[in-house]
Chains A and B, each alone.
Chain A
Amino acid sequence: MALNYDEAVAKYEPTLGLEVHVELNTKSKMFCSCSTEFGGEPNTQTCPVCLGLPGALPVVNGKAIESTILIGLALNCSIAPFSRFARKNYFYPDMPKNFQTSQYDEPICVNGYLDVEIETDEGPKQFRVEIERVHMEEDTGKSLHVGGATGRIHGAEYSLLDYNRAGIPLVEIVTKIVGGTGKYAPQVARAYVTELRDILRSLGVSDVKMEQGSMRCDVNLSLSPIGSGTLGTRSETKNVNSLRSVERAVIGEVIRQSNRLEAGERIVQETRHFLEESGQTRPGRSKEQAEDYRYFPEPDLVPVVPDSAWIEELRATLPERPSARRARLKAEWSVPDKEMTSLVNAGLLDVVEETIALGADSTRARSWWLGEISRLANEKEVDPTTLITPQQVAEVIALIKSGELTDKLARQVVEGVIAGEGTPSEVIAQRGLKVVSDDGALMVAIEAAIAAQPETAERIRGGNIPAAGALIGAVMKATGGQADAAKVRELLLKHLGQFEKATGE
């Protein structure tokens, strides 16, 4: 009988290790000034350096070092006063120099940690994930294998090479082994990658889009019988490209490895590939005949020796940690859990916070961004924060508050701003969207409505206050929505002698 996940973790203790590769969002490549822009025509963003032409030499991108130090600081690492690049030697056509320039045994950031919180049976619990190192390296080019069924190199008729990606700065963040999670290993893994992604996003150093590959995760996992105190043989699962997949990959490996162990088979140290559809992994190349990369210090680059004053300057610029900020905002705004999750997932925290800082009340700011603006953004398939500024939203909200706009008019104003008709006040002026607050003009409309529906008016006079809705609706229609409904109601009820009764109820 095959073990399921619960049975597996009842017998075996999982040990995790996570390696996350992050593409930095610097304008230029790691060692040359070529653009890092995504999606250019193949081989148009190349130069003698990133093509590895004979004689060309690398020069380190200072911005990439700065970003890496920021990451290290945010992960509570020590920043090495002296670190170096090394060459990782192996032949592959998409590597222009047939070696990758990467930090190896002298990384720039070491010994950090990240605390993550997960839900357990006993309530929320914090886990500390220790960071071994954060180091810099360059990406390789991209091979496109044409012909053949699999899209892989075997069986391909020919291959095309695109070196636009060669030399794009990458940062690798490696944890120490993460033990003691018990059955919560999948949640800890996911919480770690989530928190890491949020931190990187808050630092502004990467797009951290897992689905586009600007953040990639390898999951190392081993099992040992509970209480044995030993470490099992690990597998390394690659191609884990979403937060949910991180969790599923851990579960998949726990089940696979436990069943092998139950069957008396041994675990092979190997690279495995995560299969998105099934949540399982398939074997890649075995690491038992590990390739010898013949690492040695890169002689073309001088060591990285960051000035300690500079490190302190960077430390002072670190933003508030995303989890702490979320907790703070949640309390400040008194937001329900579900709405907070929606705001975070939609990436709206910044704009909402800014809108509130500009004087809007929290409830209105949240509902405009999550509601009308997100709806319009969905229609256009764009990011809501690109449509309108917090300044403009705050202005609209202020006008609603002062009674100069109704909600309905405000929606038209927002729509106009998004359509590019100008600022809220320009849209209001051009579209003539002011609230009709002239009592005389409203009375004309009210009398017309009463004349058109005399029976309804009679019912209201007779004390049927809810019947007023029909007449208010008629007035609103007649004024093109530009009247304040509350004002109309007041005038109508006063006119019919029922205002005191209505407010007294």
Chain B
Amino acid sequence: MTSIKSSAADMAAALAAGTTTSVELTQLHYDRIAQVDEEVHAFLYLDKEGALEQAAAVDAKRQSGEELGPLAGIPLALKDVLAQKGVPTTCGSKMLEGWRPPYDATVVTRLKEAGVVILGKTNMDEFAMGSSTENSAYGPTHNPWDLTRIPGGSGGGSAAALAAFEAPLAIGTDTGGSIRQPAAVTGTVGVKPTYGGVSRYGLIAFSSSLDQAGPCARTVLDAALLHEVIAGHDERDSTSINAPVPQVVKAAKKLDVKGMKIGVVRELQGEGFQAGVLERFHDGLDALVSAGAELVEVSCPTFDYALAAYYLIAPSECSSNLARFDSMRYGIRVGDNGERSAEEVMKLTRHEGFGPEVKRRIILGTYALSSGYYDAYYGSAQKVRTLLMRDFAAAFAQADVLVSPTAPTTAFKIGEQVDDPLAMYLNDIATIPVNMAGIGGMSLPCGLASEDGLPVGFQIMSPAMRDDLMYQVGGTLEAALLAKWGAPILDKAPVLAAR
């Protein structure tokens, strides 16, 4: 019997067996959303009409015996940073309030073609800048494990929707950890594919050279199934890689790591990491060793500079990417009283339309790119990026995959770090190097921290276009831990009050 707690793979099997329909599944999730989302606030918009229509269309195709993709008819939550034709797309910003894109992002096109049912758009930090979803102009999302805590960010809405069983699948985007850190603090699975593995066309850019869309799910296999739907070359994105998609579904099903070398990154397990996080991380390492993997310690000394370099590159690119929000063509317009000049209206609109974190980064980036500072800031940061890639190359010469805790702590309280941007930035210390090098990264749950009983994330990093390796290790680790726990980790989450 399928329920909202089933995996997407099980739901797909039930659909194929005819024991349920996509319309039924979709309605089931809307019912759940109606019950819990007032508290969780994972969604910014629900497209019930569109979703039920898509579900009915998939059911009809199935009835007529048409061949369908593995995720046809499965509901999904879409991060509000991806353009969906005709559906409000805000990026969590007041700036885009009411904007309905006239086109679909390539990821959305591929989801639609695969028969995936898009339930609605999920909450996020404004323009994907943040690690807590508190920077959303539409209010924070609450962590289903503890509603007083953050669900991570920027993709807190997508992760919370999975943890609260409001959707079995979600799409996130990850610029410095926005898929993996929310997955870590909500006990779910999140994958940042190799840069260029998934098209960025229609992904509203924060930092073009770092942004990457990826799958969010409750199991490694579900993430792999979704990965294969959205990945692949797209001629609309010149940075997308024209090569076959790594066989991640096959890899996720291998459940074998015998003889694989697991590189433990020395720089990502010391100071600043919560004791309970490190304990659970070591449980994960033990499980991999028991499964036949070999641990090697690797050193990536440049990682110490990754965060600083990231906070020059990402703001620089964002200062340029967000310049287009000037009220002239779309989005809100403030102060246009027929008297003011276009320039004044642009200023007023940007003053009103952007939140403080977005403004902070635009100012940082504008400064870093300024004449006279460019070489010292943006130029140096790019050099750090090259060094980071060399560190990874050296590490991958010693190990098949690299591992670390995903985030240094478990979920913190809403409001706790909101006035301390530097503390907030440190949440991404272990995830940022992956984006800077353009490689693949996955987070999956490895237990609950002893101090607070909150989920801990285990990060696996794989070389560029070898995403299959992290799925192989992730799938094996997940199976080993499930065997040890006897039940999925989300079963330990408190039951959300039904309304």
Taking beta carbons and an 8 Å cutoff, which residues of A are in contact with B? 48, 51-60, 87, 89, 91, 93, 96-99, 153, 159, 161, 292, 294-296, 299-302
Q: Which residue of B lies closest to A156 (CB)?
A: B341
A55 x B204 contact (CB < 8 A)? yes
**B342 at the A interface (CB under 8 A):** yes
Known: A48-B103, A93-B326, A96-B329. 5 other contacts (CB 8 A): A57-B200, A57-B237, A91-B346, A300-B239, A302-B239
Contact with A along B87-108 (1 / 0, CB 8 A): 0010100001001011101000
Bound together, the chains give a CA A89 to CA B378 distance in angstroms of: 15
**B323 at the A interface (CB under 8 A):** yes
A89 x B369 contact (CB < 8 A)? yes
**B401 at the A interface (CB under 8 A):** no
Bound together, the chains give a CA A153 to CA B203 distance in angstroms of: 34
Q: Which residues of A contact B342 (CB under 8 A)?
A: 93, 159
Bound together, the chains give a CA A59 to CA B369 distance in angstroms of: 24
A89 x B103 contact (CB < 8 A)? no
B323 x A97 contact (CB < 8 A)? yes
Q: Which residue of A lies closest to B91 (CB)?
A: A54
**B247 at the A interface (CB under 8 A):** no
Bound together, the chains give a CA A69 to CA B317 distance in angstroms of: 29
Bound together, the chains give a CA A302 to CA B208 distance in angstroms of: 12
A57 x B201 contact (CB < 8 A)? yes
Bound together, the chains give a CA A52 to CA B124 distance in angstroms of: 22
A91 x B326 contact (CB < 8 A)? yes
**B51 at the A interface (CB under 8 A):** no
Interface residues of B in 18-62 (CB under 8 A from A): none
**Residue from A55, A89, A295, A302 within 8 A of B323 (CB atoms):** A89
Q: Which residue of B lies closest to A159 (CB)?
A: B342
Nearest CB on B from A59, distance (A): 5
B343 x A55 contact (CB < 8 A)? no
Tell me the dominant secondary structure on chain A's binding face: loop
The answer to whether A54 and B96 touch (CB under 8 A), given A59-B235, A91-B346, is yes
Bound together, the chains give a CA A96 to CA B369 distance in angstroms of: 21
Q: Which residues of A contact B105 (CB under 8 A)?
A: 55
Bound together, the chains give a CA A296 to CA B330 distance in angstroms of: 26
Q: Which residues of B contact A99 (CB under 8 A)?
A: 320, 323
Q: Which residue of B lies closest to A300 (CB)?
A: B208
Bound together, the chains give a CA A324 to CA B235 distance in angstroms of: 42
B contact residues, total (Cβ < 8 Å): 45
The answer to whether A97 and B236 touch (CB under 8 A), given A55-B203, A91-B346, is no
Q: Which residues of A contact B341 (CB under 8 A)?
A: 153
20 residue pairs from A and B, CB less than 8 Å apart: A51-B329, A53-B103, A53-B330, A55-B82, A55-B83, A55-B202, A55-B203, A56-B103, A57-B201, A57-B236, A59-B236, A59-B237, A59-B238, A89-B319, A97-B324, A292-B371, A294-B366, A295-B369, A296-B320, A302-B238
Q: Which 3 A-B pairs have the closest CB atoms?
A: A98-B323, A294-B369, A299-B208
**B328 at the A interface (CB under 8 A):** yes
**B374 at the A interface (CB under 8 A):** yes
Interface residues of B in 319-375 (CB under 8 A from A): 319-320, 323-326, 328-330, 341-343, 346, 366, 369-371, 374
Bound together, the chains give a CA A51 to CA B369 distance in angstroms of: 24
Q: Which residue of B lies closest to A88 (CB)?
A: B320
**B186 at the A interface (CB under 8 A):** no
**Residue from B96, B235, B329, B378 within 8 A of A296 (CB atoms):** B378
Q: Which residue of B lies closest to A157 (CB)?
A: B338
Q: Which residues of B contact A60 (CB under 8 A)?
A: 238
B101 x A54 contact (CB < 8 A)? yes
Q: Which residues of B contact A53 (CB under 8 A)?
A: 83, 101-103, 329-330
**B209 at the A interface (CB under 8 A):** yes
Q: Which residue of B lies closest to A54 (CB)?
A: B204
Nearest CB on B from A361, distance (A): 54
A292 x B370 contact (CB < 8 A)? yes
Q: Which residues of A contact B102 (CB under 8 A)?
A: 48, 53
Task: Output the residue of B83, B99, B328 with the most chain A CB within 10 A.
Answer: B328
Nearest CB on A from B351, distance (A): 14
Bound together, the chains give a CA A300 to CA B324 distance in angstroms of: 15
**B316 at the A interface (CB under 8 A):** yes
A89 x B326 contact (CB < 8 A)? no
Q: Which residue of B lies closest to A298 (CB)?
A: B208
Task: Output the residue of B209, B317, B329 with the most chain A CB within 10 A.
Answer: B329
Bound together, the chains give a CA A328 to CA B238 distance in angstroms of: 46
Task: Output the residue of B82, B105, B202, B320 with the most chain A CB within 10 A.
Answer: B320
B374 x A296 contact (CB < 8 A)? yes
Nearest CB on A from B315, distance (A): 12
Bound together, the chains give a CA A58 to CA B200 distance in angstroms of: 11
B329 x A294 contact (CB < 8 A)? no
**B205 at the A interface (CB under 8 A):** yes
Nearest CB on B from A475, distance (A): 74
Q: Which residue of B lies closest to A291 (CB)?
A: B371
Q: Which residue of A lies closest to B338 (CB)?
A: A158
The answer to whether A52 and B101 touch (CB under 8 A), given A57-B236, A93-B342, A296-B374, is no
Nearest CB on A from B196, distance (A): 9
Q: Which residues of A contact B369 (CB under 8 A)?
A: 89, 294-296
Bound together, the chains give a CA A103 to CA B425 distance in angstroms of: 34
Q: Which residues of B contact A300 (CB under 8 A)?
A: 205, 208, 238-239
Q: Which residues of A contact B366 (CB under 8 A)?
A: 294
B101 x A55 contact (CB < 8 A)? yes
**Residue from B89, B200, B324 within 8 A of A52 (CB atoms):** B324
The answer to whether A161 and B83 touch (CB under 8 A), given A55-B202, A292-B371, is no
Interface residues of B in 291-333 (CB under 8 A from A): 316-317, 319-320, 323-326, 328-330
Bound together, the chains give a CA A98 to CA B321 distance in angstroms of: 9
Bound together, the chains give a CA A51 to CA B329 distance in angstroms of: 8
Q: Which residue of A lies closest to B89 (CB)?
A: A54
Q: Which residue of A lies closest to B211 (CB)?
A: A299
Q: Which residue of A lies closest to B81 (CB)?
A: A55
Q: Which residues of B contact A153 (CB under 8 A)?
A: 341
Q: Which residues of B contact A295 (CB under 8 A)?
A: 369, 374
B320 x A89 contact (CB < 8 A)? yes
Bound together, the chains give a CA A93 to CA B326 distance in angstroms of: 8
Interface residues of B in 94-148 (CB under 8 A from A): 96, 99, 101-103, 105
Q: Which residues of A contact B370 (CB under 8 A)?
A: 292, 294
Nearest CB on B from A185, distance (A): 32
Q: Which residues of B contact A48 (CB under 8 A)?
A: 101-103
Q: Which residues of A contact B378 (CB under 8 A)?
A: 296
Q: Which residue of B lies closest to A161 (CB)?
A: B328
B328 x A93 contact (CB < 8 A)? yes
Bound together, the chains give a CA A54 to CA B316 distance in angstroms of: 17
B326 x A98 contact (CB < 8 A)? yes
Bound together, the chains give a CA A53 to CA B370 distance in angstroms of: 25
Nearest CB on A from B346, distance (A): 6
Nearest CB on A from B53, distance (A): 23
Nearest CB on B from A289, distance (A): 12
Nearest CB on B from A485, distance (A): 68
Bound together, the chains give a CA A52 to CA B328 distance in angstroms of: 11
B320 x A294 contact (CB < 8 A)? yes
Contact with A along B147-176 (1 / 0, CB 8 A): 000000000000000000000000000000
Nearest CB on B from A310, distance (A): 18
Bound together, the chains give a CA A96 to CA B324 distance in angstroms of: 6
Nearest CB on B from A94, distance (A): 9
Bound together, the chains give a CA A298 to CA B94 distance in angstroms of: 27
Q: Which residues of A contact B374 (CB under 8 A)?
A: 294-296
Bound together, the chains give a CA A57 to CA B237 distance in angstroms of: 6
Nearest CB on B from A100, distance (A): 11
Bound together, the chains give a CA A58 to CA B321 distance in angstroms of: 13
Q: Which residue of A lies closest to B199 (CB)?
A: A57
Bound together, the chains give a CA A180 to CA B238 distance in angstroms of: 46
Nearest CB on A from B283, distance (A): 39
Q: Which residues of B contact A58 (CB under 8 A)?
A: 238
Bound together, the chains give a CA A370 to CA B369 distance in angstroms of: 58
Nearest CB on B from A51, distance (A): 6
Q: Which residues of A contact B236 (CB under 8 A)?
A: 57, 59
Q: Which residues of B contact A89 (CB under 8 A)?
A: 319-320, 323, 369
Bound together, the chains give a CA A354 to CA B203 distance in angstroms of: 54
